[in-house]
Structures are given as structure tokens and as C-alpha cells.
Amino acid sequence: MRRTTIALLLLALTACSSGSGRPDVGLPEPDAVFDYQLGGPYEPEEKVRAVARDRTAKPAAGRYNVCYVNAFQTQPGDAISWWKKHHGDLLLRKDGALVIDEDWDEALLDISTADKREDVLRIVGPWLDGCARDGYDAVEADNLDSYSRSDGLLDAEDAAQFARLLAGRAHEQGLAMGQKNTTDLLPRHEEIGFDFAVVEECAAYDECGPFLDAYDGRVFAVEYQEEAFERGCRRWGGELSLTLRDLDVRPRGAKGYVFRTC
């Protein structure tokens, strides 16, 4: 009887120590050579071990593949028209006008309430499912920080709550979930369900260290300025994945294409 009781206690302790209890997912290797291919897919260089591509592209054979999903904003152009026509109530508005990310001409999605978040998930969730069906290993949900461009209509808690829904959906599909930028939410990364990070210009803004600490080197860091990239390589090279790309992340062969790693 005593041995049975001890065995049950050990089993309970093991279950408690497993963290969030979410399904096991494949994590990227720390300091893996990374290529950011959002501007169009192309054959990665032989040294590349991990690749991020838009969800509309197929994953790269033999690499760790991250599926890019614009989860907190629309894409520009026709995508805004599609949302307005089919799900206009899920676009964030102020005084009747759409709230727009002016840098990228993208409309913000309305995740201001639990009901709204569930409604947006009904649209975005199947995109994550599609990433899994196509053979991706992980998801990068972009514009986590859209609340900072929302004219005060959204806050970090709204973003965290929706990110938690996305992480749960990704984990159900066997996908790891990547945190995209946003140091403000780093202290909550485990609670939300993030497994690794994709970070833009952390060397330029001296933010790589906190991401490195949070994710034990499982950080895909993309720089767009050569000086910041070289500075980042000197400071963090060998600890996380640092990649220099052109701002438009063009495919190889296109004018202006840039790709370097530490």
C-alpha cells in the first residue's frame, strides 16, 4: 500500500513539473542559422537550418520551418477590402474610421473583448491549422504589439489574451508558438504559451539580451542595418540566431537582396 501511494505521489509530481501541460512541440535549436523569407520563397543556402516563410508558401525541405501569420492586423490592400466585406465588425474603429498601422497600411483587428477575440480566432485559427497541414514546425504571429498603435483602444492585456488563444490553437496542431517582438510581454511568455522568439532589430534597440535570457538562445533575430547587425554579432554571435536581411526581405536574385549571418 505504501509503495502504491508513493508511486501515485511521484506521478502527480511529474505531472505538475511538466509546466503548462500543453502537447510536446518541436523547438528550434539555439543559434541555428536562420533565413527570413517573407518576401518570397527560395532555396536556402546549405548552412541554413531554419526558415520563416509566409503561410501562403510551402515549407523548405529539410529545415525547421516557421509559418508567418499576420494575426493581429490585416495584410494591406485587397486584404482590408476582404475583411470589410466579410468581417467588418472585427476591424478596430475609432469614431467609425478604421484604425490603421500607417507604416504598413494595415488595419488593426478588434481584439478588445473576449467575444471579439473568439470571433477573430475563428478566422485566424484555420490559418494556423493550414500551417500544420502544410508541414510547418512553428508559427510566428505578427503584430503582437498592435495595441501600441491602437489609439488607446487596445492594451497589452488584450494582446496577451489573444496570443494565449493562438498559442493554444498552435499547440493543438503540434506547432511551436513564436513570440514576435514586444519586450513588454516577455515576463509573461510562459503564461501565454510562447516557445521561442522571432525578433526584428533587437541589436539596433539593444533588446536581444532579454529575449536570449527568456528563450535560452531560441531566438531568431533579424537586423536590417549592417552596423547594428555587426554590433549584434560581436555581442551575441554564437548565442542566438542573428541574420541581416534587406528591409523588403526580397528573394535571392532580386535587386537589393541581402542575406548574411554571423
- 137/134 Cα distance (integer angstroms): 9
Q: What is the pLDDT of residue 3?
A: 38
**What are the DSSP E strand ranges found in 102-155?**
106-107, 138-142
pLDDT in tens, 226-238: 999 999 999 999 9
Contact status, residue 71 vs residue 158, Cβ threshold 8 Å: no
Question: What φ, ψ does residue 112 adopt, rounded to 5°?
Answer: -80, -15
Closest by CA to 221, choosing from 105, 163, 238, is 238
DSSP helix/strand/coil, 118? helix
Closest by CA to 63, choosing from 51, 53, 72, is 51
pLDDT higher than threshold 90 for residue 218: yes
Average pLDDT value over all residues in the chain:
92
Q: In which band, very low, low, confident or very high, does the pLDDT at 24 lie, cut at 50, 70 and 90?
A: confident
For the CA atoms of the chain, what is the radius of gyration? 19
Residue 204 CB neighbours (<10 A): 16
Q: Under 8 Å CB-to-CB from 240, ≥6 apart: which residues?
A: 30, 31, 208, 211, 212, 217, 218, 219, 220, 221
Q: Under 8 Å CB-to-CB from 102, ≥6 apart: which residues?
A: none
Please identify which residue in the block is written with the cell numbers 533588446.
207
Question: With the C-alpha atoms ordered 70, 104, 186, 28, is the resulting torsion angle positive or negative?
Answer: positive
pLDDT higher than threshold 70 for residue 100: yes
> What Å distances lie between residue 114 and 180, 183, 232, CA to CA?
22, 23, 39
Q: In which band, very low, low, confident or very high, does the pLDDT at 128 lie, cut at 50, 70 and 90?
A: very high
pLDDT higher than threshold 90 for residue 6: no
- 40/206 Cα distance (integer angstroms): 29
Q: Under 8 Å CB-to-CB from 10, ≥6 apart: which residues?
A: none
Q: What is the pLDDT of residue 23?
A: 59
Question: With the C-alpha atoms ordered 222, 137, 211, 148, is the resulting torsion angle positive or negative?
Answer: positive
**What are the DSSP E strand ranges found in 88-153?**
93-94, 97-98, 100-101, 106-107, 138-142
pLDDT higher than threshold 90 for residue 18: no
What domains sit in the chain, N to C, each tagged with a CATH number?
Answer: 29-261 (3.20.20.70)
